[in-house]
Chains A and B, each alone.
Chain A
Amino acid sequence: MGTYIAGDNIITSLGFTTAANFDKISSGITGVKIVHENDLYPEEFPASLVDKSLLNSEANEKGIDKAYTRFEQLIILSVTDAVSGLNIDLTSPKTLLIISTTKGNIDLLKDNKGFSDDRVHLWKSAQEIGHYFDTSKMPIVISNACVSGVLAIIAAHRMIAQGKYENVVVCGCDVLSEFIVSGFQSFFSLSKDVCKPFDKDRSGLTLGEGAGTVVLTSNKSISPGPLIEVVSGSGSNDANHISGPSRTGEGLYIAINEVLSGRSDIDFVSAHGTATAYNDDMESIAFSRCNLSHIPVNSYKGYIGHTLGAAGVIESIFCFETMRENLLVKTYGFENPGTSENMNVIGQNIPKAINKVLKTASGFGGSNAVILFNKHDE
C-alpha cells in the first residue's frame, strides 16, 4: 500500500502556513534575527523565533491561549491548518497522530506557569493534544534528537504500509527556551551570525523554533495534486560518538544506501546542513561514499535555523514545495565551498523538474535518518 502526502503546514518566524514560508525562502528571505531576550539567554544571539503577538492572537482566536502552553498551541494550530479542507477524521481509530519533539514543554522546569508539574513530560503534552482533537488513540511521541522529524514520517509511512492506519498526521515541534539555548552555547556550537551551511567560513549552527505538520494517507484520492509518495525510509547509528558526527559518515552512509538500494535517479538532496564544521564535513563524506556528490544539495537552516524535533518535518515540507513548484531553493548563507568532499551546493534558485528527493537528518546520539519522496507525473 502506498503512502501519499495529503496536506501540510509550517509555522516559523516566516509565517503560519506552508505557502507563506515557502514564499519567503524562495525569495531569499531569512527569518533569523539577532535577538536579545533575557529569558532565553543573557547575551544577544541569532535565532529564528515565532512572532509572539501573532501566535498570541492566533491562539486567542482558537480559544487555546490559556489552557495550552506555547509548544502545544503551535502543534494545535499547525495540525488544524494541515488537515483543514481535507476529508480526514482525527477522531477515527484509523487515524493516528504522531508528535515529534526533542524537549516539548521543558521551559516549565524553570517556571510551571500555573500548569501541573507533570506537564513538563512529553506524554502529558501529547495527552492534552489528544484530548483537544478527541483522537481515539493517544498520540505517539517520538523523541530521537534531531532526526525525530524524519524518523516520525518514516514511522508513519510504515504504519500505513502495514495497514494499521489509513491516515497518520505527523507534527514536529520544538520551542526555544533558556534550557536549549544555554546548552548549545555551552558547546560553543552556535554561530555569531546567521549560520552558513557547507561554507568554508561556517562557524556553527543557528537555533530556530516552530512546528511542521504532514498528513500522510493511503487514500490517493484525498491527496491534492501533484501526487507525492513516500517511497522508503531508513535509519542507522554511527556507533561512534554521542555528540560528534562520525568521521566516515558511517550511519548516514548505511541509511542512504538502504534507501537508494541501487537507484541513481535522485534529483535533489535536502541535507541536514547545520553549518557546524563537523556535521557538514561528515555529510559531504557520506554523500561522496554514496556517489551523490554531483546531485544538487541544499540546507534550509539559514532561513529558519535548526528547529530540532521539527526540523525533519518542516524541511520535508519544503521538499514537497520544491517538487510542487519545480524550484530548487538556494542555501542561505552559503558562498564558498568548504567541505572535506566536494558537494554540488545550490547557491542560486534553479527552476528544474524535480521528482525524486532524498531528505537526510543526523543528530546527537549518533543517529541518522533518511527518507525518499517521489512525485508522480500527472
Chain B
Amino acid sequence: MQLSYLTNMMNSLVISSYCIIRKGIVITQDKRLEFPGFTNDGKFLKEIFKHLESSYAKFYKMDRLSKLAFLASEFLLISAEHKKYQPEEIALVFSNSSSSIDSDIKHQATIADKNKYFPEPATFVYTLPNIMLGELSIRHNLKGENMFFVSEKFDPAIIVDYTSILLGSSRHKSCVAGWVDYTATELFAALFFVELAENGSALKEFDSETLKKIMEL
C-alpha cells in the first residue's frame, strides 16, 4: 500500500502556468488582457505581439495558426520555468479540430486556377498542424517528443492521458500541452505548462476537470 501511494505521488502532475487566447482576450494565471475591436483577420494576433514587445522577427513569417500558438507559448513560458530542464526533457502534446485549415484554404487558392498556378512553398509548409510545434520548439529550444491529435472538440482526457504517459517515462520532466485552433471564423488557444508535482510550482492539479474549468475562464 505504502509503495503504490508513493509511486502515485511521484507521478502526480501539476499545471504551473497556463494561457488562454480567445477572441479579443488573453488570460493567464495572473492576468487578463482585453483587446477591444476584435476582428479575425490576424490583426488581433499582431496587437498581442505588439503588447509583448517581442523582437522575434520569425513571427511575421508564420501562418495564423502558428502565430496563435506562438503568442500563447510566449505568455506560458514568460517566467522561463522550462529553462530548469534540458531541451530533450520538454515534450509537446497538442490537439485541435481544424488541423491547418486556414493555410490549407490559402494553398488551395494558389492552385485553383490553371492559368494562375502559383503554389507557394512558404504557404504549403504551414499546411500541417504540427508545424506550430516546430515553431515553438525553435523559439524555446524544446527537443522533447511531439504529438498532435485531431478531435472534433477539445478532448481533455486524451491530452491528460498522453501527457501522463510521456511524463511517466524517465526522460520527460515537463510538457507544453493543450489546444490551438484557428479558422476563418473562430480562434482558440489553451496551453498548459505541466510538470511533475515534485518539481513544479503547483498552481493546479493537471486533470481533465481542471483543464475544462480553465478553458471556460
User: Do the two chains belong together in a single complex?
Assistant: yes
A192 at the A/B interface (Cβ < 8 Å)? no
Interchain CA distance A103-B127 in the complex, whole Å:
8
Tally of chain A residues near chain B (CB < 8 A)? 54
User: How many residue pairs at the A-B interface have CB separations less than 8 Å?
Assistant: 149
Contact A187 B121 (CB under 8 A): yes
A residues less than 8 Å from B24 (CB atoms):
none
**Nearest CB in chain B: distance from A222 CB, A:** 24
A residues less than 8 Å from B144 (CB atoms):
236-237
B residues less than 8 Å from A151 (CB atoms):
146-147
**Nearest CB in chain B: distance from A309 CB, A:** 10
B104 at the A/B interface (Cβ < 8 Å)? yes
Chain A 239-256 interface 0/1 with B at a Cβ cutoff of 8 Å (1 = within):
111110000001100110
Return the contact of A140 from the options B87, B112, B143, B149 (Cβ within 8 A).
B149
Interface size class of B (residues with CB under 8 A): 35 or more
The interface-forming segment of B26-34, B129-137, B186-194 is B129-137
In residues 130-180 of chain B, which contact A (Cβ within 8 Å)? 130-131, 133-135, 137-138, 141-152, 158, 161-162, 165, 171
A residues less than 8 Å from B146 (CB atoms):
144, 147, 151, 235, 237, 365, 367
B residues less than 8 Å from A42 (CB atoms):
114, 117
Contact B138 A366 (CB under 8 A): yes
Among B120, B131, B137: residue with most chain A CB under 10 A: B137
B9 at the A/B interface (Cβ < 8 Å)? no
Least CB separation from B128: chain A residue? A145
B108 at the A/B interface (Cβ < 8 Å)? yes
Contact A109 B134 (CB under 8 A): no
Contact B125 A364 (CB under 8 A): yes
**Nearest CB in chain A: distance from B112 CB, A:** 7
Contact B112 A110 (CB under 8 A): yes
Contact A144 B148 (CB under 8 A): yes
A33 at the A/B interface (Cβ < 8 Å)? no
Q: List 26 A-B contacts (CB under 8 A).
A: A121-B99, A121-B152, A126-B150, A140-B149, A142-B148, A144-B130, A144-B146, A144-B148, A145-B131, A159-B161, A162-B165, A178-B111, A179-B127, A182-B110, A186-B119, A235-B147, A237-B133, A237-B145, A237-B146, A242-B131, A254-B88, A258-B171, A365-B128, A365-B133, A365-B146, A367-B130
Lowest 5 A-B CB distances belong to which pairs? A365-B134, A183-B124, A235-B145, A186-B119, A237-B137
